[in-house]
Every structure is written in structure tokens, then in C-alpha cells.
Amino acid sequence: MELAPEQFKRFFPLPVTVITTVDPQGTPNAAPYSCVMPILRPLPLIALASALPRDTLRNIRSGGEFVVNVMGRPSFSAAMKCAKNYPVGVNELAQEGVATTSARKVRPPRIKEAVGWIEARLENEMIGDKYSLVVGHVVCSEMNDAYLQDGQLNELPMTLLMPYFRTGGEIYMKRDDIGVDDPSMQ
Ligand SMILES: Cc1cc2nc3c(=O)[nH]c(=O)nc-3n(C[C@H](O)[C@H](O)[C@H](O)COP(=O)(O)O)c2cc1C
């Protein structure tokens, strides 16, 4: 089945992460981002693609820091709560009851339930007409001990981290009771 060029995301696996940032007043912001990738294996770099405009992007530019919270299956519901659009200056994590902890090296908080955290400082940005590619220098990466046993994930990565697929339609994840339409992803 040939698809329209932009439809390759129907079969391209993507992670479910939440990017946390803080605004200049120190108020946290959180948004699900799936267009996130490492830049080569040995480099401590991570890239994300952001639509324009985004509060996340504005905060990364002003504060220079962000946390990639890798959510996976256990915290997928928390990730979806962060997709709601609150006015600037509102702590959506607090509004949605998503628990946080302090990051080690940067000001934005971590989401407590995440499988792991990648703390980064803005290194570079490439701006297109409709998107921005943000490159962060990773200053701290940590796996959540809650999901580890003897230093290994206590569940298969396939089910714990659960990249999402659109399975040929607009439902991008369906497993047990989780099935979510994703109107916000272009
Ligand atoms: C699963 C999921 C993945 C998403 N991935 C991205 C992404 O990679 N880039 C992006 O710009 N928006 C993405 N979005 C949309 C934003 O999360 C959404 O527009 C959010 O409200 C933006 O919040 P902000 O303005 O506080 O940054 C995604 C949404 C969902 C539900």
C-alpha cells in the first residue's frame, strides 16, 4: 500500500516522551513529544522536532534547558495529561496531578513516573518555516530504579518503552485499555 509521502509515520516507530521546561518565572511546562532522537550513538546529544509555536520551544530558547522524560507504557496516561493546552504561566503538571521530582543538573523538573530522564542544555537550533530542530547537549541521563532489577529493565523494552505505531490508521496505540486518537500530531 503506497501512502502519501508524509504518511510514513504510520509505520515508523516513535517513542512517547514528555519534554519539561520552565518559563522565565520558573513555572514548569510539560508537553508530549515523540519526534525525539539521539544524534549518533557515542555523542551526548539529543534532538527534538518542534512545531511552531510551542511553549516548550519558547522556554527552551529562554532558559536553555529541558528534560526528556521517557514515559513508556507505565506513565503513558500521565504523558497524555500533558497534551492539554493551558495558558502560559499555569503549572500544568500541578493542575493535572502529575508528580515531579527535581532534576540533577537543570531547572526543569523530572516526571517522577518516567522510565528514564535525559537532562539537556540547548546546543543548537535549526529553524524551518514550520518547524524547529532543537539539539540538546545531554548533561545527565538516569534510568528510574522503579523499573530496574539487577541493573536491567524489569520488563521487556518492547512492552515497557512501547514505541507507538499508527497501525495504518489514526489510532496510534492500542494495547489493553489504551487506545488514543492523536489529533495534535501533524
Ligand atoms: C503523543 C504525542 C506526541 C507529540 N509529539 C510532538 C512532537 O514531537 N513535536 C511537537 O511539536 N508536538 C508534539 N505533540 C503535540 C504537543 O505535545 C502539543 O501541541 C502540546 O500541547 C504542546 O504544548 P506546549 O505549547 O506547552 O509546548 C505531540 C502530542 C502527542 C499527544
Return the DSSP state at 77: H
| DSSP 8-class letter at 164 | B
Query: 25-61, pLDDT tens digit by residue?
Result: 999 999 999 999 999 999 999 999 999 999 999 999 9
Q: Is 68 helix (H, G, I), strand (E, B) or coil?
A: strand
Q: 60 CA to middle of ligand 1, Å?
A: 14
- Encode pLDDT of 131-158 as tens digits: 999 999 999 999 999 999 999 999 888 7
| 125 in contact with ligand 1, CB cutoff 6 A | no
Ligand 1 midpoint to CA 149 (Å): 32
Domains along the chain? Answer: 5-181 (2.30.110.10)
* Ligand 1 pocket check for 34: Cβ under 6 Å: yes
Q: How far is the CA of 134 from the centre of ligand 1 (A)?
A: 14
- Which ranges constitute the DSSP H helices of 90-131? 92-95
Cβ contacts of 185 within 8 Å, gap of 6 or more:
9, 34, 172
Residues in the chain: 186
Supply the pTM of this predicted model.
0.91
Instruction: Evaluate: CB of 149 within 6 angstroms of ligand 1.
Output: no
Burial 110-128 (b: 16+ CB within 10 A, else e): bbbbbbbbbbbebbeeeee
